[in-house]
Structure formats: C-alpha cells, structure tokens
C-alpha cells in the first residue's frame, strides 16, 4: 500500500522488472501517449496529491475554460489513467439492514467511515450456530441489504478449500507433501517447476513467482483498463507457463497464486477427476451442503444472481472468471450461509481435510501457514486467529476462526474497500479509516 494525500492506493500484484522488460510494449502505446502532454501529467500529479474536484482543477493556471479541462480529463479517462464516477455519486453503506438486528446495528455503528464500501454480508459463528446480518444496498438495480444467500465473489479464501483438498488427498494416500509437482503433471518433468514439492506450493515457499507469464501479461493491462486478468489462462496454459517459469530457491516466502493454482491442478490429476470444479464439488461443497458455492471457468458459468462488484468510487468492476487459477480463487462464488457452513465444519473438525488448519511452516513475522490457512495473533491480542482473506476485481472478503474458543467471524463485501479495517474495528473498537474517494480518482 502507498499513502498519498488522496488516500491509500492498494494493489494485489507486484511485477518484476524483468517481466516488464520482456513485454511487448506496443500494446501500451495509447495509455503512454495520453501522458504525453504536460497538462495531463500535471493533472495526474494534482489528483494524486489530493485535488479531488473539477472546481479545484479549474483553479490551475493551465485552464481558461471548463472545456479545456474536460478535454484533457477525457483523454486520461479513455486511456485508463483515471476513473470518473457519475456526477455527484458518492459510494457508502446505506441504512438498509437485514438479518439479526443486534449484529447489523453493531456493524453499522462501528466508529469511522464506510465511504468506499457498498454493502456487507457478515456472520458470527459460535457453538449455537451462525448469526447473519447484512447492511447497505448490494445491487443498485434491486435495493435492499444482502441476505445470507446473496452471492458474492470469494477470492483467495478459496485457498483454504484447496488446502483442505490437499490435506484430504494426503489422508487418502493419493499424494504426499514431499512429492515433486512433476509426479502429477508429466509436462513438467525435467523443469525447475517440476522439482518443487507440493508442500512448498501450499506454503508459498516454492521459489515460483506470484503469477505465470500469461497472467503477468494480462495483469498490467487489467490494472490499466479495468479488465479480468485471468480469462487468458486455461489449465493447459497454466502448465505451459510453469514449464518455462523461473524457480528461485533463495527468494523465501512469496505469496503465489501461481503455486496454489498448480497444486490444485496436481490434486485434480491425483484424484483422477475431470477438473477442479468436480474435485471441489465431490469432496468438499457437496458433502458439506454448500450448495451455493461454485467456480466459474467461463463467463457463462458465473451465477446470474451474483451481485456486482465496485471500485472505490462506484465504478463497476470487471467480473472475474477463468479456468487456470480457479484453485487460487480467481472465480469462486459463494454466500455467507455457505461460508458459515465451512467455518463451522472447520471449528468442529468435521470438514474434509481439517488437518489443513494446523501450521506447517513460518510465513513472515508472527504468522504461520498450514495448508492454505494462516495463523497469527488475534486482532485484540488475546489469542490466535486462523484466517484467510480474499480479493477480486470488485470484492473483498475475510474469514477468521478462533479454534480455541470455537468461534468465527466472516465478512463479504462487494467493493474493493479493505474489509480488514471493518474486522479490526469489530474486534477492537478501532476506527475504520475509510478511503477518501470523491471527484476524479486515480487507478
């Protein structure tokens, strides 16, 4: 995250210098060309340093009229450098509520700002079962707060599913943690990626980069143009990317969607099923009754009733789908009720592959990782939490479990405002900072 006067700028991916230098830069001629004017460069600088309205921009010496200003703003918006919401639009959580009144009121009355958020679906999980609440209007086409069966994109909490499938496959004797990846993906025999172990893939310590080269190529464009970065990577392409991927055994822990996508693909082969969707359904969601949890390899597999996602300023985010990175969470759709089933099953030990919860390696300061699940000190400092979060183009999610107390909390949000701030406020009473996103917003 980078803090600028206009607010925090956050991103999910980092691109290595060599990846950028190896790209065909011609496809970015138009975005770069849009900056080839001193006035537009000054506009971008002013917006990044806190100027938020067109009235403030008109005070600059460069503009004799609103027409001149809007000409340059249109060039920057069309090239993807700025996102301009409709005039007067301000995105925040409305007073709409559903579900448990106490829980809804406790979330809605948290100190701080809900600016940048749109709606939240939350649940407390305890020994007597889950309690649900929703606040805000999830879909402008259908007013009302989200209920426990409202469909959201899940993001990387999917990695806990893949971790559980790994633990379950170990229990079944299909795989072992120290098996090399090439044992299950023949195309990687003799390659550096083929030699990494399944355990290292799950622990983000394999030495592989965060993304394969096809996804890297799509990510830069998706950041500039607000598009889906995963549509171009099929399972076949994922394996082809792995065959040429560098492996750096000295890089330490690097969070890697690439690694988790590859271990998920290996588990599919070990189980002898057709694809990740089948493995997930047969071994996890169907046995647990998580009937609303699905993955979307193609655009037509996206649930029709999934709520839309949004950027901080209310601009509609792209819908994510794509086959190759499904095990990492590129396109999982779920509900608060289904995620509560998952939480409860892990708390009481009935989840398939529940051994995935147990830490197997360190991951950064004060954090350990199991098969997918992370364990670190709880937000209020009174114990430990086992957790994972998620992020897609227009959604943020968080699931945390207190294994000792047998309790949990989950939150699903259909905007990119950081839900970690809400979870922290819920746990400790701290204030939600709230992104300051009005007028024109840089992206």
pLDDT at 226: 78
Cα distance between the two ends of the chain: 13
pTM metric for this prediction? 0.82
Cα–Cα distances (Å) from 326 to 143, 367, 432, in that order, read 31, 25, 31
Dihedral (Cα; 430, 431, 432, 437), 10-degree rounding = -160
pLDDT at 364: 85
pLDDT at 81: 73
Radius of gyration of the chain (CA): 22
pLDDT at 91: 82
Question: Which regions of the chain are under pLDDT 50?
Answer: 1-2, 4-6, 10-13, 84-88, 437-443
User: Pick from 100, 88, 90, 110: which is nearest to 145 by CA?
Assistant: 100
Per residue in 96-138, pLDDT tens?
999 999 999 999 999 999 998 999 999 999 999 999 999 999 9
pLDDT at 440: 33
For 4, the enclosing helix (H) or strand (E) is strand 2-4
Q: What is the residue whose two structure tokens read 């999830």? A: 138
- What contacts 24+ positions apart, CB below 8 Å, involve 248-251? 248/207, 249/207, 250/207, 251/207
């Amino acid at each position: 995250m980078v803090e600028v006067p206009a607010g925090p700028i956050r991103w999910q991916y980092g691109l290595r210098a060599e990846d950028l230098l190896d790209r065909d830069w011609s496809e970015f001629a138009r975005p770069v060309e849009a900056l080839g004017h001193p006035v537009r460069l000054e506009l971008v600088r002013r917006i990044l340093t806190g100027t938020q309205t067109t009235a403030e921009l008109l005070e600059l010496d460069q503009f004799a009229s609103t027409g001149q200003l809007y000409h340059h703003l249109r060039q920057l918006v069309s090239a993807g450098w700025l996102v301009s919401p409709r005039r007067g639009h301000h995105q925040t959580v409305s007073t709409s509520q559903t579900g448990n009144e106490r829980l809804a009121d406790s979330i809605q009355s948290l100190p701080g700002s809900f600016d940048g958020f749109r709606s939240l679906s939350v649940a407390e999980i305890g020994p007597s079962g889950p309690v649900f609440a929703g606040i805000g209007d999830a879909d402008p086409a259908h007013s009302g707060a989200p209920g426990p069966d409202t469909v959201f994109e899940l993001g990387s909490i999917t990695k806990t599913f893949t971790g559980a499938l790994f633990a379950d496959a170990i229990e079944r004797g299909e795989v072992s943690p120290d098996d090399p990846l090439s044992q299950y993906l023949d195309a990687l025999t003799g390659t550096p990626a083929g030699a990494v172990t399944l355990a290292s893939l799950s622990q983000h310590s394999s030495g592989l980069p965060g993304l394969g080269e096809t996804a890297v190529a799509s990510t830069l464009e998706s950041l500039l143009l607000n598009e889906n970065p995963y549509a171009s990577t099929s399972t076949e392409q994922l394996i082809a990317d792995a065959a040429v991927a560098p492996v750096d055994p000295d890089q330490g822990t690097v969070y890697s969607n690439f690694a988790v996508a590859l271990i998920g693909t290996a588990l599919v082969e070990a189980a002898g099923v057709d694809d990740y969707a089948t493995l997930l359904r047969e071994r996890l969601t169907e046995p647990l009754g998580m009937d609303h949890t699905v993955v979307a390899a193609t655009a037509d597999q996206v649930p029709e009733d999934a709520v839309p996602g949004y950027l901080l300023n209310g601009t509609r985010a792209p819908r994510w789908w794509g086959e190759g990175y499904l095990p990492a969470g590129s396109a999982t759709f779920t509900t608060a009720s289904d995620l509560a089933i998952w939480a409860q099953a892990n708390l009481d030990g009935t989840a398939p592959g529940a051994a995935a919860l147990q830490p197997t390696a360190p991951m950064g300061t004060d954090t350990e990782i199991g098969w997918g699940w992370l364990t670190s000190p709880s937000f209020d400092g009174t114990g430990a939490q086992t957790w994972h979060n998620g992020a897609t183009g227009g959604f943020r999610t968080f699931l945390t479990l207190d294994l000792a107390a047998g309790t949990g909390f989950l939150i699903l949000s259909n905007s990119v405002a950081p839900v970690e701030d809400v979870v922290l406020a819920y746990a400790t009473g701290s204030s939600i900072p709230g992104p300051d996103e009005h007028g024109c917003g840089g992206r």
